Amino acid sequence: MKNVLLTVEYDGTNFAGWQRQPSVRTVQGVLEEGLSTVCGYPVTVEGASRTDAGVHALGASAGFRGDFGIPVERIPLAVNHIFRGRTPSPGVNGDLRIVQAREVPADFHPRFDAKGKKYRYIIRNRKEMPVFLRNYRYHVEKPLDVEQMKSAAAQVVGTHDFACFQATGSYPRRTTVRTVYFLSVEEGREGDIVIEVGGDGFLYNMVRIIAGTLTDVGLGKIPPEAMADIIAGRDRSRAGHTAPPQGLYLVEVYYQEA
C-alpha cells in the first residue's frame, strides 16, 4: 500500500470549488475520476485545503493511498493525459493538472502534516480590464493608495485572534488564533496590485476578507491605523468586504521534509 502526495494546479473558473459534491464539477471529483481510471479502482483523495468556486491554485496538495502497478512518478503523465483528452463540462479541457507525485511515509497526511500555506491575491487597479482577465483578477477601477495598504498590512503580521477575518456563519473552530508569517502588498505589471500572505493556517474566507479590507484601506474607507483595533475587536462587521474569489490563488502548501 503506497501513500502518495500530489501537487496540483488548476484554473478554478469552471469548478464548484475543491470539495466533492453530487451533480457538480469539483476539483476533488475530477481528480478522483482521473486517478481511479489510471489505478483501476475507486480512489479517494484527501486535500490539504478546500478552495471555493472560482479560486485558483498554483500549488495545491492532495494525497491518496493505494496498491497500484503504475510507478508513482508516472502518475502525473498518465492522469494529465486523461485530463487533456476529456471534457467533463462543455468547453472545458485541461484546467486541472498534476504537477508532481511522490511517495511519502505511511503516517503522512496532506492536511494534518501541513505546516503552513501561501496565498496570492491579484487586483487589477485600472479603469479598464481586458475581458480575458475577468476570471483571474479583482477589478477595482478607483485608484488604490498602495502605501496606506502596506501600512495596514504590517499590523496583520504575527499571532492574533483573527475572528474579524472569518466569514459570518462559518463552522465553529476550536480556536480562531492563527499566525501570519508575512503579508506583502506590491505594485506589479499592467496596473496589478499583488497581495501575498503566508501563515500556519487560515480561517474560512480569511484571505479574501484581508484582501477586501486592504482594498477598503486603499480606497480611503478604512484608515490604516484602524487595522490593529479591527483585529483586537474580533468583530467581522468592523473589517472590510470579502473580495471576490477570482483574484485568489493558493500558491503553496508547506511541509517539513516528508
Q: Which of 52, 161, 192, 200 is catalytic?
A: 52
User: DSSP states of 36-84 as a string?
Assistant: HHHHTS----EES--PPTT-EEEEEEEEEEE--SS-GGGHHHHHHHHHH
Q: What's the one-letter identity of residue 106?
A: A
Is 138 marked within a binding site? no
CA atoms within 13 A on the CB side of 241: 10
Neighbouring CB atoms inside 10 A of 219's CB total 16
Active site residue 52: yes
Exposure b/e, 78-99, CB count within 10 A at least 16 = b: bbbeebeeeebeeebeebbebe
| Cβ neighbours of residue 8 closer than 8 Å, sequence gap 6 or more | 27, 31, 57, 60, 61, 62, 96, 97, 98, 99
d(CA 145, CA 224): 10
As a whole number of angstroms, the distance between CA 22 and CA 28 comes to: 12
Binding-site residues, in ranges, read 119
Annotated binding site for substrate: 119
Report, as residue numbers or ranges, the catalytic residues: 52
